[in-house]
Amino acid sequence: MIELTDVHVRLGQRDVLRGVTATLAERRVGVVGANGSGKSTLARLLNGLVLPTSGSVTVHGLDTRRQAARIRRRVGFLFTDPDAQIVMPTVAEDVAFSLRRKGLPRAEVERRVREVLAGHGLAEYGDHPAHHLSGGQKQLLALCSVLVLEPDVLVMDEPTTLLDLRHSRQVAAVLRGLPQQVVVVTHDLALLRDFDRVLVIDQGRVVADADPRTALAHYEAMMS
Amino acid sequence: MNGLTGAYVRGGSPLHRLPAGAKLAGLAASCTALVLLRSPASLAGAAAVVAALYAISGVGAAAAWAQIRPVRWFVVSLFLLQLLLADAAGAVSSSLRVVLAVALAGLVTLTTRTADLMACLERCLAPAALVGLDPFRLALLLSLTLRSVPVVAGLVTRVREAQLARGVERSPRAFAVPLVVSALRHADALGEALAARGLDD
């Protein structure tokens, strides 16, 4: 469970979030909003990449301000641009890199890497240079590198923005099958249609918080 | 780009099976030997050995050429400079030395996974922990450097295309400013991604 209590975030001279309070317990939570509305900052709050200027954020009872390292072990984060999160030159090495601080035996690391790559259509690309993959495959690789750690919560910041329709659908299908809680910030409204709950952010405030149909209707009306 | 990005070529050759530490030590010894070899004839012998090693590795001619290709103009410049300042034998020896050293270094990256190189470097850098440096972070620098080469190359292509589209392809400023801004933005995003993956623990 994620709890945001009267969260304010001020970056430089700008109030990015103003008094956000929400308890996120649903399995699929979407966040939409215009560019600059504060939704990416909201996502970054959930694993301590951004700390609240005032108020608090807790994930499973852990406070992001005091226990960020522990939270990051439980909250996976997927960014928009996979190129910025792939660290190792080859596909299998990048996934294995996520596990290096777990102290697992090499055979176990290789087994987990093989398993997660196979589960996401990348089994035959293990020794491929990561930069030779297509944009969609890179995003799937970034997702594998997060999922191999079996996080309790997965936060995604516009995961399909750079993808074509086929790869967007592939990511959406992966999302539907994930057992963990997922929070997705996106402009891709179709992705959120079967979610449990959607928050609409505008100028740093939650202006709608409802089921997808109601929330997205509010968002579309707001943007027209 | 393979030559600069540590692209491992899967294989089961004796070179692939050799531990990363042995390959790095061999590389250091071979490069020292190259400096000590004086005559073009002895360097030609070394070239034959390097060619044999490539043949044994089975990485293929294209991968071998990809190692040399990025330094070809540097080697040509070095050859011409040595020809002007020294003699033909000196020019051939210097150029061949550079080509062989690069080829050998390339052979190590082609037959060794980056993770194995990192693990080896981490072990070698373990004493750095005594002065408060994290050997893992030092080894990670190597990996990030290798990984950043294709990313920066992609940024260069993007900036060049934007220059062409705007008709300012001759302006150094129109090239440098967006490239530096994009590279810094990438560095920021990479730092954030590393933090998200628990690298600042």
Tens-place pLDDT, residues B9-18: 888 899 999 9
For residue range B59-89, list pLDDT tens digits in order. 888 888 888 888 889 999 999 998 898 888 8
Does B42 score more than 50 pLDDT?
Answer: yes
What burial class does residue B29 get, using C-beta atoms within 10 Å of its C-beta: 0-12 exposed, 13-18 middle, 19+ buried? exposed
CB within 8 Å of chain A, chain B residues 149-178 = 150-151, 154
Q: Which amino acid is at A200?
A: V
Does B1 score more than 50 pLDDT?
Answer: no
Q: According to the model, what pLDDT value does residue A157 have?
A: 93
Q: According to the model, what pLDDT value does residue B200 have?
A: 65
Q: Which amino acid is at A16?
A: V
Task: Report CB contact under 8 Å: A84, B144.
Answer: no
Structurally, chain A folds into a number of domains equal to 1
To test the contact with chain A by mutation, choose from B147, B157, B182, B190 the residue with the greatest count of A C-beta atoms within 10 A, namely B147
What is the torsional sign of CA B133, B136, B142, B143?
A: negative
Shortest CA gap B180–chain A (Å): 16
Task: Report CB contact under 8 Å: B144, A86.
Answer: no
Taking CB atoms and an 8 Å cutoff, what residues of chain A touch B200? Answer: 69
Smallest Cβ distance to B196: which of A49, A90, A97? A49
Taking CB atoms and an 8 Å cutoff, what residues of chain B touch A89? Answer: 5-8, 114, 143, 146-147
Shortest CA gap B81–chain A (Å): 36
Whole-angstrom CA distances from B172 to B152, B168, B175, B189 are 17, 9, 5, 26
Q: Give the count of Cβ contacts less than 8 A between chain A and B.
A: 86
The boundaries of the domain holding residue A55 are 2-223
- Nearest by Cα to A157 from B178, B25, B81, B196: B196
Long-range contacts of A142-145 (CB under 8 A, 24+ apart): A142/A78, A142/A79, A142/A82, A142/A85, A142/A86, A143/A78, A143/A171, A143/A174, A144/A95, A144/A116, A144/A117, A144/A119, A144/A120, A145/A85, A145/A86, A145/A94, A145/A95, A145/A97, A145/A98, A145/B197
Does B31 score more than 80 pLDDT?
Answer: yes
Pairing of strands A54-59, A62-63: antiparallel
What burial class does residue A103 get, using C-beta atoms within 10 Å of its C-beta: 0-12 exposed, 13-18 middle, 19+ buried? exposed
Mean pLDDT, chain B, as a whole number? Answer: 86
Q: Is B144 on the interface with A (CB under 8 A)?
A: yes
The three-point CA angle B17-B21-B23 to 5° equals 60
Q: According to the model, what pLDDT value does residue B38 have?
A: 80
Across the 224 residues of chain A, what is the mean pLDDT of every consecutive 10-residue run?
Answer: 95 92 95 93 92 94 90 90 84 89 88 94 89 88 93 93 85 88 94 94 95 95 91
Does B201 score more than 70 pLDDT?
Answer: no
User: Residue A129: which CATH number?
Assistant: 3.40.50.300
Query: What integer is the mean pLDDT of B145-166?
Result: 82
Q: In this structure, what token pair is assigned to residue B156?
A: 């260069």
Smallest Cβ distance to B115: which of A77, A79, A96? A96
Task: Report CB contact under 8 Å: B143, A87.
Answer: yes
